[in-house]
Amino acid sequence: MDVVYLSPSDMPSRTANSVHVIRMVEAFCQNGSDVSLYVNRTVNENPENLHNLLEKYYGVKLPSVRIYSIKLWFKSAATLQLAIYSVISLTRYVFSKKCLVLSRNLYAAYILSFFMDARLIFETHQVEMGFRRHLQHRLLKKINVRSVVISEALREILSSYHSLKLTNCIVLHDAAPSGIQKLSKNEVYRIRKVNLGCIKKLDSMVVGYFGHLYHGRGVEIIEGLAKLNSDIDFYVFGGNTEQINDLREKYKSSNLHVMGYVEPAKVQTLMSSMDVVLMPYQKTVAIAQSNQDTARWMSPMKMFEYMAAHVPIISSRLPVLMEVLHENVNCLMAEPDDVDEWCAALNKIRSDSYLAEILASTAYSNYQEKYTWYARANAILRSVL
């Protein structure tokens, strides 16, 4: 089946939504689909060069993908501009019985919902406000549009928020790429030497955090852990230039290393080279749009990439994360703001190698069985057959 993917994303960029989109596009290709991807390009590249650039930057293979891109005409209303471009270009697809249109672009999905049958899927990762709330309500209500959300919590919140039953809505959590393998000890040591400047022995503990540095991501917890565990090295990957510089100025612990941003193509290997990975989300979690708090409904890609890394995970004890993570089964958990409980969990893993392996192996098995992009794309394709 041909797939048309209408994205809200800037590409290439550091945004999580761009990584989600490009991974899904790759997964549709792996499922045998030809894909047309609509994005806003952030570079001045011709179509062929843009295709190669995205493959390299995100570490994906896009053998059967056609990329249609624009440079924004003006800085505001980016999603609307991309929607207008996409819809104008889509005339030939609207009446095609072999085509599935998947839209994470709210405006494009709304316009197309008046012309397409059940081959239109609207994916939403948030609760919309203002005028966008009206559009989201209409889309979730339409019987000819199947909706996809990223957590059971988000489906319940949207159902209450819009006073709808959402019978035509499916939950598909985020995921990680297929085929990720556990690293050998020698590979771990080599990666640490190259990327961390780490020349310690193989049994020295290295703890990692990967992700954005917006409010609510728990960097304060990591700093507290570093102060309480001077013999452990903590590595923080992610953030924009301003955030990285601020953290380097603020946190002076010799064992807390603010490493900066790493391209998506390189992140998974670094995750797999850690001894423990941290997910210290707080009770309020911001995204790029500062007025959005996603703590109640998020499904962070980082969680699934951590599971695929075959490394023990310590996570905040938040209800939405417990849709996937299970305490003392595939992770350890701590209260978001209790650094002593985080420290106890970390030392529990350090002192019990058998527990560490069980947690890592169980999380890895869960990833293989349920949480790959290939399986997610396959579920979407099967939902419209």
Residues 128 and 195 in one domain: no
From edge to edge, which strands make up the β-sheet containing 169-171? 65-70, 35-41, 2-11, 99-103, 120-123, 145-149, 169-171
Residues 322 and 336 in one domain: yes
Lowest mean pLDDT among 56-70, 191-205, 312-326: 191-205
Residues 264 and 341 in one domain: yes
Residues 120 and 212 in one domain: no
Residues 324 and 291 in one domain: yes
Residues 280 and 251 in one domain: yes
Q: How confident is the model at residue 365 (pLDDT cuts 50, 70, 90)?
A: very high
Contact criterion met (CB below 8 Å) for 294 and 285: yes
Cα separation, 225 vs 368, whole angstroms: 31
Residues 22 and 162 in one domain: yes
The pLDDT of residue 290 is 47
Residues 169 and 312 in one domain: no
End-to-end C-alpha distance for the chain, whole angstroms: 10
Say whether pLDDT at 75 is over 90. no
The pLDDT of residue 151 is 97
Query: What is the CA 249 to chain-centroid distance, rounded?
Result: 28
Residues 260 and 333 in one domain: yes
Contact criterion met (CB below 8 Å) for 342 and 331: no
Say whether pLDDT at 325 is over 70. yes
The pLDDT of residue 278 is 98
Neighbours of 276 (CB within 10 A): 24
Structure tokens at 92: 């030939």
Say whether pLDDT at 324 is over 60. yes
Full domain range(s) for residue 378? 2-177+372-383
CATH number at residue 355: 3.40.50.2000
Domain tally for the chain? 2
Say whether pLDDT at 283 is over 50. yes
Residues 229 and 207 in one domain: yes
Q: Which pLDDT tens digit goes with each residue over 146-185?
A: 999 999 999 999 999 999 999 999 999 999 999 999 999 8
Integer angstrom CA distances of residue 265 from 226, 262, 384? 28, 8, 31
| Predicted TM-score (pTM) of this structure | 0.93
Share above pLDDT 90 across residues of the chain, in percent, rounded to a whole number: 68
Residues 225 and 314 in one domain: yes
